[in-house]
Structure 1
Amino acid sequence: MTASTLSTATPKVTITSDFWNTYRQLIVKEVLPYQWAVMNDEADINITDEKGGENPDSKNSHAVANLKIAAGQMTGHHFGFPFQDTDVYKWLEAASYSFSYQPNPDLKQITDNLIDLIADAQEDDGYLSTFFQIDAPKRRFKRLQQSHELYTMGHYIEAGVAYHQATGNEKALTIAIKMADCIDANFGPADGKIHAADGHPEIELALAKLFEVTHEQRYLDLAHYFLVNRGVDPEFYDRQLEADGFDNDIIPNMHGVTHTYYQVDQPLLTQKDAKGHAVRVVYLCTGMAHVARLTGDKDLLAACERLWDSIVHRRMYVTGGIGSTNVGEAFTYDYDLPNETMYAETCASVGLTFFAKQMLQNEAKGEYGDIIEKELFNGALSGISLDGKHFFYVNPLTADPKFQQNPSKAHIMSQRQDWFGCACCPSNIARLVSSIDQYVYTVTDKAILTHQFIANKATFDQGLEIEQTSNFPWDNHIHYAVTNPNKVQTTLGIRIPSWSRSDFTVKVNGSSQTLPVNQGFIYLDVTGDLTVDLTLDFSIRELQANTAVAEDAGKVAIQRGPMVYCVEQADNPENLWNYRLAADANLQYHFNANILNGVGEITAQAAVRQTPQTDALYSNYQPTTWQPTSLTLVPYYAWANREDGQMRVWLSKENA
């Protein structure tokens, strides 16, 4: 039999990981029904303002009602943000992915009916944004700085593509095509068209996805135009605002927001630092990386690499969170990573995962897989509770219930909430978890890259199969069995995480091997069947921040494998800031099946500060005395699933 070469066709991946299947079943059994009930105003919930203030309607979402009003099935005014439709679209996308591992005829009937509703709400020319259709039809595309029109349609395009791929529903794809055609008819470089894009990037990545399904070159060209033209005319939004009226904000108090917030202060291709609204940055970068790959535009890819470097190496929290301030939900400056006033929005961590995935498809670089892993097990996963019905908008590294009494910290919540007035995060984390099978492998024309240690069975082109078994993230042994009946010739690249780069072992067909690490991967030639046994270094690590990070001076964060850990008041008496780890903390790991659905716990030798009992606010200095004690740490993703209380990631350290 003559050997052949593997193609880049997408593999079929079945997740077998106990850890992730628990979450994927949670999506199907709890998350999707709960979110559908919320969006249909059928759930008994409290809706919280994501900034910690009061919400104008504390019980209802109205997201589906807005679509029904636009479709003529109900009467009334639009409710909520102008992008309220996207809550429904991301939910639809999550449901679409769930069908690949859990067919559900009842859910399929709901989603088919939803597609019919969306089609009825869509205008004949393809336009669909219910706020403008219901309450402001004459203002279409006239206030792009804050309208979210292309952002909204972009999220449907993503959902429509996913639903079509999952179910074959042609109407779902037709809606997306009509939207893209509407946008193409109104935007672009030609005379008479609008020479700018939405203030919130999203359409760029959506058009790239639509191009890959339809192969319609206009969609890729338009995505490319939106990117290379962004920031070329920084005053465009200002002129639109003046023409539409400065006092006619669609979102209150947005007309005075700087160009930097929208990433239009300078041409995108010249930007060196991640700045402005964090979610917008990573959505923009996701589209840019995707379009760079599809077009071969090296300037776009170089811009992606610069912004990646800025985010990951100077502006990212140890958990993978991004966004240092609640003012604009934004990046600030290098190494400004405060723990008590940070933002780290769930959507930003989800978006950084998208960005990393696209970068990995451009280049086989292990760091991109490292960040996917960091987000999946820490920064993004923290956004959803263990019951699937409570969510974080902000993912802090320090929390205290008393923060709610301080307006500058009120966005830092110590318990996940039922829902939010701006509910972008709940359905965003749902669509990420339900599509986790798309994040295990990246297939290039040179190799199969296996970069996530998520147990699975995968079938590739020409009958090649890979089965990965492990108890990751709790255990450090990963076994690969490659079955290759047709003797396909390819290369298998296995990511060696940065946290294990200095200590790992590999056996191939039972024989120990010493293999070089090339940009974070080891490589094996595949010509027939083989087995690989990888053992990673799960030593508990004490991490310190760059000395430029003022907030973390003299502190350490604890990590084991991919998991960042924290101390929580549920396990340790308050006040947590009075503890410090011992110089020899004697960190010990054990798995505790009795808490938090089963997690690995770490115990540490520590000391607690002893202070004189006094009512005085200030008193003369006395040397600190320390009482030996111990601390219990749990994985960061699992905090705030028990009683309300304090939490800390960064801990003081003796002699640090």
Structure 2
Amino acid sequence: MNQTESAANRNIQINDPFWSEYIRLVREVMVPYQWEALNDRIEGAEPSHAIRNFKIAAGREEGEFYGMVFQDSDVAKWLEAAAYLLETKRDPALEEIADGVIELIAEAQRGDGYINTYFMLKEPGREWSDLAECHELYCAGHLIEAATAYFRATGKRKLLDAVSRFADYIDTIFGTDPGKLQGYDGHQEIELALVKLHQATGNEKYLRMSSYFLGQRGRKPHYFEEEWEKRGRTLHFPQLSMVHDHSYSQSHLPVREQDTAEGHAVRLVYMCTAMADIAAATQDAGMLEACRKLWDNIVSKRMYITGGIGSMEQGESFTADYDLPGDLAYAETCASVGLIFFARRMLQLHRSSRYADVIERALYNTVISGMSLDGTRFFYVNPLEVYPEVLGRNKNYNHVKAERQGWFSCACCPPNVARLLASLGEYIYSVQGDTVYTELYIGGRVETVVAGQPVVIEQHSRYASEGRVSFEVTAEQPVTFTLALRLPDWCDAVEVAAGGTSRIITSGDDDGYIRLTREWQSGDKVELAFAMPVKRMKGHPLIRQTFSKIALQRGPFVYCLEEADNGKRLYQLRLPEESEFTLSEEGGFPEGVKTLAADGTRLTSAGGWDRELYRSDSSWTREQVRLTFIPYFAWANRGVGEMSVWVGEEAKK
């Protein structure tokens, strides 16, 4: 296993026609908006109380705990997003607010190192009694991630020292030694966070703790049932089966024996992220093989075309191979964020463009679908088909919304999107030996070291709109290295111009990259022009919900029909095989993003259905219509209406 290093966030400046606006939204809108939400200052939005919980725990205010048992994690994820923003650009006002939050957390911390406002305020003395449901280690993990990011961004140790004390305390509670709890958290997160704490501090103990928590999962007798009996069979979430449904929390088998994606989707990909981290840190080939099996099952049998995962509302879970209903999809925004985390770790372990392809698919579709174009409203669930008339009436669709919400009682998704986009620079390049890999085509400037020499690479990108990208290298002295350029899975041919020559390339190497090896000098340029046709995508024949239907994709974007352009009853529309597409831009959508239009048909009835629900003598008439498709991420920004990714295809006559 040859691990690859990603370029540090601080060494990358994004300047991109598409993504710069999202980075601006995170900095100027999302993080400030979410700060207001955490302080309960958004009129009409679901209250958070998260900051006030810490104030009460710190003794600054009187009151009671309010919110979900994992409410602390919203503060931690906000703080982590703020850290990534500070890493790329100084912001004294934001840093002052963040420092204040850290001071508050430190004041709330108990003398033994424990930090969790729910148990400190609502159930003191019952700590670690309900690991299956109550997210103590999950909240600890998010706090650790925030601390390591803030230390890297500012060099300030206050929160890092606080979470190190907390982790040291956790180490006194859990383990295989006599007298310790031999448990693990119901929601994986502490495992990947402890790896980051190890990387920040160099303390090997934290790596061992992460391995311990992974290794305990799935052992018999089952720990969650034992603790349930011990606490008198009480449940925190009686509507869910966190204690007895062991697959829900991926504790049905030891992690090395799991080969299908089961249970809660976010938990699964967070666990896989940690497994990949441990495989890299310990050179554990068996753990890596388990990661590969789970990866393959997710992306080849249980992932939506949008990069969403989790096809069932009950348990926010995976179901079965090829069971991917569009209208009932859960596809939680957090799950796609977690899938990106997992994909990035796999990419660092095993050089293959297919991991970056999934990062791109999830990022350009489900993740940014999770936020409105103005950055103030959010989707928790990302369905691929919506009919507002049944929402609120059919309980099977209770999780589906036709418009984004200002905030949530369970508000994990908005800060998760913010922290991912704030750290987006880390996903663009990776370096291994004398090779610089370009994973995402996002414009900007990176400073890195390759073949022992400092190098600056400037990327100019109109990838999202035109498929055109160029690179310019600056080096203090000539340096020989390989620039490896990912050939996206949606592209059949790319024109590469470098060194005064141009050639058409239709396939990458075995890893899916185009490798340009040469002695680079300052001013050397490479230009790419990716063929970007509209592709008619079809689902695997075992996906019953998409059989005989198609979805459109152009470049990294999956498209959808929306009522605003096509009227109601989208299910009546058909796209003929011979239809050609025209491209245009829609006002209010991001610059350069194209909409698609094509001739189609609408199947309508000849009439006579006033009193009959079913008939034997009816026929359909075909009305010629012009169909308009918009990028999936942009739906639900123009009012409430129907939406569908998949459309019926009509064969040539």
Q: Which TM-score band applies after superposition, normalised by the shorter structure?
A: over 0.9
Are the equivalent residues in 2 in contact too, given 1:241–1:255 (CA < 8 A)? Answer: no
1:107-127 CA-partner distances (Å, limit 9, x unpaired): 111110000001111112221
The change in CA–CA distance for 1:638 and 1:96 in structure 2 (over 3 A counts) is same
Are the equivalent residues in 2 in contact too, given 1:580–1:652 (CA < 8 A)? Answer: yes
Aligned mates of 2:381, 2:517 — CA distance in 1: 44
Q: Does 1:485 align with 2:499?
A: no
Corresponding position of 1:247: 234
Q: Does 1:570 align with 2:571?
A: no
Are the equivalent residues in 1 in contact too, given 2:5–2:348 (CA < 8 A)? Answer: no
TM-score, structure 2 normalization: 0.95
Structure 1 residues 42-441: aligned runs within 5 Å: 42-47=41-46, 60-233=47-220, 235-249=222-236, 253-254=240-241, 257-402=244-389, 403-441=391-429
Corresponding position of 1:548: 542
The one-letter code matched in structure 1 to 2:166 is M
User: Displacement of 1:506 after TM fit?
Assistant: 1.4
1:255-276 CA-partner distances (Å, limit 9, x unpaired): 5550010101111101010000
Aligned mates of 1:315, 1:257 — CA distance in 2: 24
The one-letter code matched in structure 1 to 2:541 is T
The change in CA–CA distance for 1:289 and 1:77 in structure 2 (over 3 A counts) is same
Corresponding position of 1:54: none
The change in CA–CA distance for 1:594 and 1:339 in structure 2 (over 3 A counts) is closer
Structure 1 residues 488-503: aligned runs within 5 Å: 488-500=479-491, 502-503=492-493
Match of 1:636 among 624, 632, 636: 632
SS of the aligned residue for 1:289 comes to helix
User: Displacement of 1:247 after TM fit?
Assistant: 2.6
User: Displacement of 1:476 after TM fit?
Assistant: 1.0
The one-letter code matched in structure 1 to 2:308 is G
Are the equivalent residues in 1 in contact too, given 2:17–2:461 (CA < 8 A)? Answer: no
Deviates more, 1:529-538 or 1:245-254: 245-254
User: Displacement of 1:483 after TM fit?
Assistant: 1.9
The one-letter code matched in structure 1 to 2:578 is D
Match of 1:447 among 420, 435, 441: 435
Deviates more, 1:397-406 or 1:188-197: 188-197
Match of 2:606 among 591, 605, 612: 612
Corresponding position of 1:50: none
Corresponding position of 1:475: 466
Aligned mates of 2:543, 2:235 — CA distance in 1: 41
1:206-232 CA-partner distances (Å, limit 9, x unpaired): 011111111100001111121122112
Are the equivalent residues in 2 in contact too, given 1:28–1:102 (CA < 8 A)? Answer: no
Are the equivalent residues in 1 in contact too, given 2:215–2:255 (CA < 8 A)? Answer: yes
SS of the aligned residue for 2:133 comes to helix
The one-letter code matched in structure 2 to 1:491 is T
1:355-396 CA-partner distances (Å, limit 9, x unpaired): 111111101100011011111100111101011110000000
Aligned mates of 1:599, 1:593 — CA distance in 2: 10
Corresponding position of 2:457: 466
The change in CA–CA distance for 1:293 and 1:255 in structure 2 (over 3 A counts) is closer
Structure 2 unaligned regions, length at least 5: none
Q: Does 1:517 align with 2:509?
A: yes
1:136-184 CA-partner distances (Å, limit 9, x unpaired): 1211111110110010010000001111111121102112211211222
Are the equivalent residues in 2 in contact too, given 1:78–1:134 (CA < 8 A)? Answer: yes
SS of the aligned residue for 1:449 comes to strand
Are the equivalent residues in 2 in contact too, given 1:378–1:637 (CA < 8 A)? Answer: yes
1:246-298 CA-partner distances (Å, limit 9, x unpaired): 23426754455500101011111010100000000000011111111111111
The change in CA–CA distance for 1:74 and 1:364 in structure 2 (over 3 A counts) is same
Aligned mates of 1:7, 1:649 — CA distance in 2: 36
The one-letter code matched in structure 2 to 1:22 is E
The one-letter code matched in structure 2 to 1:510 is G
User: Displacement of 1:299 after TM fit?
Assistant: 0.9
User: Displacement of 1:509 after TM fit?
Assistant: 1.7
SS of the aligned residue for 2:107 comes to helix
Are the equivalent residues in 2 in contact too, given 1:469–1:480 (CA < 8 A)? Answer: yes
Are the equivalent residues in 2 in contact too, given 1:580–1:608 (CA < 8 A)? Answer: yes
Corresponding position of 2:444: 456
The change in CA–CA distance for 1:325 and 1:7 in structure 2 (over 3 A counts) is closer
The one-letter code matched in structure 2 to 1:552 is T
Are the equivalent residues in 2 in contact too, given 1:234–1:266 (CA < 8 A)? Answer: no
The change in CA–CA distance for 1:564 and 1:601 in structure 2 (over 3 A counts) is same
Aligned mates of 1:257, 1:149 — CA distance in 2: 19
The one-letter code matched in structure 1 to 2:494 is F
The change in CA–CA distance for 1:159 and 1:621 in structure 2 (over 3 A counts) is farther
Are the equivalent residues in 2 in contact too, given 1:8–1:445 (CA < 8 A)? Answer: no
Corresponding position of 1:527: 519
Aligned mates of 1:216, 1:546 — CA distance in 2: 47
Q: Does 1:39 align with 2:38?
A: yes
Structure 1 unaligned regions, length at least 5: 1-5, 48-59
1:531-565 CA-partner distances (Å, limit 9, x unpaired): 22122120100000011000001100000000000
Corresponding position of 1:55: none
Q: Does 1:23 align with 2:22?
A: yes
Aligned mates of 2:183, 2:290 — CA distance in 1: 19
RMSD: 1.7
Corresponding position of 2:648: 652
SS of the aligned residue for 2:214 comes to helix
Are the equivalent residues in 2 in contact too, given 1:590–1:602 (CA < 8 A)? Answer: yes
Aligned mates of 1:487, 1:176 — CA distance in 2: 45
SS of the aligned residue for 2:613 comes to coil
User: Displacement of 1:446 after TM fit?
Assistant: 4.7
Aligned mates of 1:583, 1:497 — CA distance in 2: 25
User: Displacement of 1:463 after TM fit?
Assistant: 2.3
SS of the aligned residue for 1:610 comes to strand
Match of 1:561 among 551, 555, 558: 555
Are the equivalent residues in 2 in contact too, given 1:277–1:329 (CA < 8 A)? Answer: yes
Q: How many residues of Structure 1 are paired with residues of Structure 2 in the alignment? A: 638
Are the equivalent residues in 1 in contact too, given 2:6–2:426 (CA < 8 A)? Answer: no
* Amino-acid identity (%): 41
Aligned mates of 2:396, 2:6 — CA distance in 1: 50
Deviates more, 1:456-465 or 1:254-263: 254-263
The one-letter code matched in structure 2 to 1:463 is P
The one-letter code matched in structure 2 to 1:574 is K
Deviates more, 1:363-372 or 1:189-198: 189-198
